[in-house]
Amino acid sequence: MRRTLTTVTAVLVALAGTVAMAQKVTNPMELDAAMKKVAPAMGAANKAIKSGDYTGAKASLATVKQALTDAENFWVMHKKDDAIAMSKDSIAKVTALEQAVSAPTPDMEAVMAAVKVAGGTCGACHKTYREQDANMQYQLKAGTIQSPSSGS
């Protein structure tokens, strides 16, 4: 009985942690917060890869992937099919990079090619949906989504 209770408790704690980690983005401020996690985490992943620290790279890539996954909900809520497709593409390419660094003996050439491909996915979305403010920080372009009061 005690073993069953302990197992059930452990499973519930793990599930609660998973739900807490999945922070679906619903508004522009949350989107910006999620996106601002990507560049530092990708930079840390690149640094780890170059130093041969594949475990560190995987941890940083998990942060990138989680931020992209969280942000994808924003585009789903606002019915932006092209942005949803860009999100899925970015997530798939980060996943491919995760797989490359997770190989028993990572091939540095393949890993670096995957880094380049994963890093290149940001540009299309930024060109379409992001702009820099006066402080050179990216934000959602004005008019990208309709406010609730305008019928969306």
Q: What is the pLDDT of residues 69-128, one digit of tens each?
A: 999 999 999 999 999 999 999 999 999 999 999 999 999 999 999 999 998 888 888 899
Give the three-class secondary structure for 97. helix
Alpha helix segments (H runs only) across the chain: 2-21, 28-50, 54-77, 81-101, 108-119, 122-129
Q: What is the pTM of this model?
A: 0.78
Q: Enumerate domains of the chain plus CATH numbers.
A: 21-132 (1.20.120.10)
